Amino acid sequence: MKKSVVIAIGGNAIQGPKEPATAEVMRKNLQMTASYLSKILDNLNVVITHGNGPQVGNLMVQQEQAKDVIPPLPLDINDAYTQGMLGYLIVQAFENQLIERGINRKCVGLVTQVIVDPEDTAFKNPTKPVGPFYTKEEAERLAREKGWKIKEDAGRGFRRVVPSPQPLDVVEKDLVKELMEEGVITVTVGGGGIPVMRSKNGGIEGVEAVIDKDRASSLLARILDVDEFVILTGVEKVYINFGKENQKALDRITVSQAKNYMEQGHFPKGSMGPKIESAIAFVQATNRQCIITSLEKVSEAFKGETGTFVIPD
């Protein structure tokens, strides 16, 4: 049987922080992403997840500019919008790579919903900035009219902040598992998935929130009970004392060591923190390993030659 793996690709695999937000840039980057990953897929049943933060933000800016012509959409619908768009681009990039290599294998993008708890404390304290910047006057008006929570963002203006609740379940998990086991390269849980809640009668309704994509990817990896969870990011290895003279790359760390480093403040919430949390959650639940590395080094990491391996105690 082929090894099963969930691979969470980072934001730079789609659009670099200083690159223009064009379709051409996304296609170019994803072509490169697919070229790296297609080299390791021969013996894998794989599910690929991805972020969508910049794309959702750009879409909200577009909608704000056109609000007098077409009303802006709720955030959960924008999550779905970008999940479908990026799924299409990622699948196409992989299909082209497979055709080039003469491999007959199917790919599919699956828009997925992720269950969150309406009682999650994140809903009482929204912290995730989304969308365009506003003046103080605009922010106060929007807060009154729409009930939005708005905060000042590092002196650059005011932005809407939304909840970032913990993911609890993936609605389409059985279909994802079936596709994976059939060998279909499945792109799903984009941007952490579309956040939804269960209503009292068991139905589903969308909620305006953002789910961290690494946490959702870790949840999916646990649900699918995969052999390995891989998080691709902008660095080859995880570091402690990152950016300082005494920075140190980590080759293999146990769950207990990872927790200790987190408590010591080595992994900030806005960067490596959620990735380490997600790795810990997977390793603890499955007693298997999680690899954190860069896209460019993914082949070497699969051979054990580089990357940071988070392993059981």
Q: Which residues are catalytic?
A: 11-12, 128, 213, 275
What's the start-to-end Cα distance of the chain, in Å? 27
Q: Coil, strand or helix: which one is 132? A: strand
Contact 216, 79 (CB under 8 A): no
> Can you give the length of the chain in residues?
313
Quick one: which of 48, 115, 118, 107 has its CA closest to 83? 48
Which backbone phi and psi does 110 adopt, to 5 degrees? -120, 115
Distance CA 138, CA 158 (A): 9
Quick one: which of 310, 307, 305, 298 has its CA closest to 40? 298
